[in-house]
Amino acid sequence: MSALDRTNGSNPMNNGFRLNKDRGKLMGVSAGMADYFGWDVTLIRVGWVVGTLLGFGSLILIYLAIGLIAD
């Protein structure tokens, strides 16, 4: 049995990505990403806004796709 098999699931990345609709503002994508990566949800949200502005709105489609496909 390897060390990876003996983990008790304490690492959230082992459980896969899940939307967090309790902490989410729109669809729970940013809060789910913050839970998955262990980052602050505000940094994720600022990243979405900056990326959307710099990418001429293309991240809006990616955000919607994640929100509709995940969970």
In single-letter form, the type of residue at position 3 comes to A
Q: Would you list the domain boundaries of the chain?
A: 21-69
Whole-structure pTM value: 0.72
Taking only the tens place, the pLDDT of each residue in 21-70 is: 888 888 999 999 999 999 999 999 999 999 999 988 889 999 999 999 98
Query: What is the per-residue pLDDT across 10-28, written as a single tens digit (0 to 9) for each?
Result: 555 567 888 888 888 889 9
Give the distance from CA 67 to its chain's centroid. Answer: 10
* Residue 16 tokens, joined: 């896969």
44 Cβ contact list (under 8 Å, min separation 6): 30, 31, 33, 34, 37
Tell me the HSE value of 27 on the side-chain side, using a 13 A CA sphere: 14
